[in-house]
Structure formats: C-alpha cells, structure tokens
Amino acid sequence: MILYLLGVLVIAVGIAVSIALHEVGHLVPAKRFGVKVPQYMVGFGPTLWSTRRGETEYGLKAVPLGGYVRMIGMFPPRAQDGGRLRRATSNPFHQMVEQARQDSLDEVGPGEEHRVFYRLPVWQRLVVMAGGPVMNLLICTALITLILTVHGVGNNTSTVSAVAECANTDVSDADCAGQPPSPAREAGLQVGDTIVSVDGTAVADWSGTTYAIQNAGEQAVFVIERDGERRSLTADLVMRERPLMNADGTLQLDGAGDPVWGQAGFLGASPTFVYEPQPVSAVPGVVGEMFTGTARIILTLPQRMVDVAQAAFGTEERDVDGPMSVVGVGRVAGEVASEGVLGVADTVAERFWIVLSLIASLNMALFVFNLIPLLPLDGGHIAGALWEGLKKAWARVRGLPVPGPVDTAKALPVAYAVAVGLLGMTALLIYADIVKPISLG
C-alpha cells in the first residue's frame, strides 16, 4: 500500500510540475515581449494559495487539472466599417463574443495600450502561445534522455535464465510427470549459458535466438558460452503451432493486422531480462516514435472515445494504448510502483523508472494535444496568428493595405463548445477508469 500511494504521489507531483512548467513556457516570453500578465495560476476553481510579485499574482487552485496565464488584451477591439462601429446585434453568440471582448479590454489600464497581447507581432504571439507545448516537449525529451542513458532499455539477452523441465508447456513443471524432457533440458542447456549461435547463425539477443529457432526445423545446433568456454549442443526441437516472429522480434502480421501462426520449434529456455543504457543519439528516434504514436491516438480520438464508452457501459475490454484520465494514470502508477509490469520490473527502483516514463508520455500527450488548432487550446491561438501572418504577407505581395489583427474572439462559441466536449470526455474517462480501469500489470 505504501508503494502504491508513493507511485500515485509521484505521478501527481509530476503532473502538477508539468502543468506549472507549461504555463511558465507562456509566462516568460509574454513578459519578455512586454505583455502585462496579471495572473499565473496552476489549477482551476477556488484559490488555495497565492502571492503577488510585481504586477503578477502567482497561485495554486483547488482543481489541479490545468492552469492558465492571464494576459491583458487577448482579443482586439471590434473592427470598424467606414469609421463607424458595426451594428449591434441581439444574437446571443454575438453578445457572448462582445462581452468577452469588452472584458478583455476592461483589463487594459491607462497607458497600457502598448502592452496588450493582440498588438504583438505575429512571430512573438507564436512564441508566446507555442511556449507552453514546447515546454512539455522539452520535459519529455529530458526525461527520455535520463531514462535511456542512465537506466537503459529493457532487453531479453541470449543468456538463459531458466530451463523448462518438460516439453509440454501447457502444464507446469511440477505437473509434467510422464512427459518427455524439454529440448533444452535434454540437450544439456543450463541456467547462465549464453547462446552464441543457432545452426551457424550468430545471435546477439533473444529476438535473434527465437527467430533462428523458428527457422531451424526439427533439430538445431547451439553454440553456447559457459564459464568462459564455448560448447556445441544439439537439441531436437518440439514443433508447435505458434505465432511467427520477424527477425527484429516483432510478430508477423497479416493484412488484417492479426498474428500469423505457423509451425515453429520449441526449445524450452527463458532469456535473462536486463536494462541496457543507450547513447544520447538514440533519444531523437524514441521521442519521434512517441510523437507519432501520440498523434495517431489524437487523430483517432473520437473513435477511441466510442471504444471507451463501449467498455465502460458494456463488456468490451479497455485498450491499453487508449486514452486515460488523471485518475487512470494515477491508478496505473500506483499499480506499477507496487507490483511492477508483466514481471519485468523486479526492484522498486526499476518500477519508479517506469513511473518516470509515464510522466514523459503525459508530457508528450500535452504537447500534441495542445497543438490541436481549436480554441481554447494553444493551437487555436497559434492557428489564428498563422492565419494573420498569411493574410498580411498576401496583402504585401499584392500591394494592398495591411489588414489588422485576426479577430479570434469570433471563435469563442467554438471554444465554449470544445470546452464542453473536453469536460464530457474527461467525465467519461474518469468513469471508465473507475469501473473498467486499464492495468499494465
């Protein structure tokens, strides 16, 4: 229980720090470019603690599910036609926009007109709004670098950690009376032996060993290293219907994405699992794979939410690669810290390295999700600034008057709809994480 709670605490602190640094990514460039920032807050709801430094109030709020940096003048004033303000309207959406615009302008005090956000050059607005997601990307990259270079990547080596007693793997070794010995046991393979080659094919890890055994037929010659000496052992393999492997250790898949089954040799030996530190040059590839994997999840989010609903209210199982709420992430972190993952994290230290990787994955999710080009997400402001930049560049090319700022306030109805959708999605995920949780154990 102590380890479980410690895992939940670590992930909670990791999320809070990630959110806080995300907002710092907005705060620092905004102040650097002269924008007045009245508030920097981590969380939503009632304020638990705050302090004022200069013109900015820094604080923590009761619901730690996000944060914000309040900058004055986020929305430009209403455009004019021929020197006259556009006609007022009774449309509730228009009134909503006008109220938000007025609230934004009311924050601008005398002499602060030059410190509003909407007056920044396009490139500075891009820096301010991209600063938050980029901070999450930097956190993810820093954690992945630490994990890869210090802890390493788990790998099944070609050193034998266990040898099965019998050839029938459908029963335990304790129940295999009357069964023939396993090919590994009969050939004389022992715990601690390192398999060097299979039928003349050199192997460097267990993936290569498995692939070589799969293609060896009914008999294979193993060169092993034991006590610093090399020996040759001949094993009569047991042929079984098994999922076929590729040379890199991945499963062979058919056109539908299902495993391909076929006759393959069974040896009856288990590998030794170790963590091997990686060079810094491996970091970009791993971070890139995390980005593409997370982007695929975001792009298919509507269908994945349907799957979550079907699992929560039906009999389907949750997808371990699907979305989770902070409740689900905390639960997984607790289970990992107390129980490990699939038996590969035997020590407490190894388990907390996995929890650290969860925090890295969360930051990658924050990076990708916040780039969605919809308000109130950062990507919505980034899209508005890019559109304004394109319009101004086109006007310059055609020799036309340079247009004013893009009126992002007009997108507020969409922003409110997105916010309601995000609240509904969060509620569904929290419910699913309670009644049908994802477990990595």
Residues noted as catalytic: 23
Q: Are 370 and 378 in contact (CB under 8 A)?
A: yes
CA distance 370 to 23: 12
CA distance 363 to 141: 9
Query: Cα dist. 45→14, 99, 179 in Å?
Result: 20, 21, 66
Alpha helices in 300-374 (DSSP H): 301-313, 326-339, 348-369
Amino acid identity at 31: K
CA dihedral (213, 219, 223, 225) positive or negative = positive
Q: Are 243 and 225 in contact (CB under 8 A)?
A: no
Pull the structure tokens for residue 397: 């090319």
* Burial label, 26 (beta-carbon count in 10 A; 0-12, 13-18, 19+): buried
CA distance 274 to 280: 19
Helix axes 348-369, 122-146, angle to 10 degrees: 160
Q: Are 31 and 37 in contact (CB under 8 A)?
A: yes
Beta-sheet pairing, 153-163 with 261-266: unpaired
Q: Are 62 and 96 in contact (CB under 8 A)?
A: no
* Burial label, 52 (beta-carbon count in 10 A; 0-12, 13-18, 19+): exposed
CA dihedral (328, 329, 334, 335) positive or negative = positive
Pull the structure tokens for residue 399: 């020799």
Pull the structure tokens for residue 371: 């780039």
CA distance 376 to 210: 50
Which pairs with CB-CB distance under 8 Å and at least 24 residues apart come from 365-370?
Answer: 365/294, 365/297, 366/18, 366/22, 366/133, 366/136, 367/133, 367/134, 367/136, 367/137, 367/140, 367/291, 367/294, 368/291, 368/294, 368/295, 368/298, 369/298, 370/22, 370/132, 370/133, 370/136
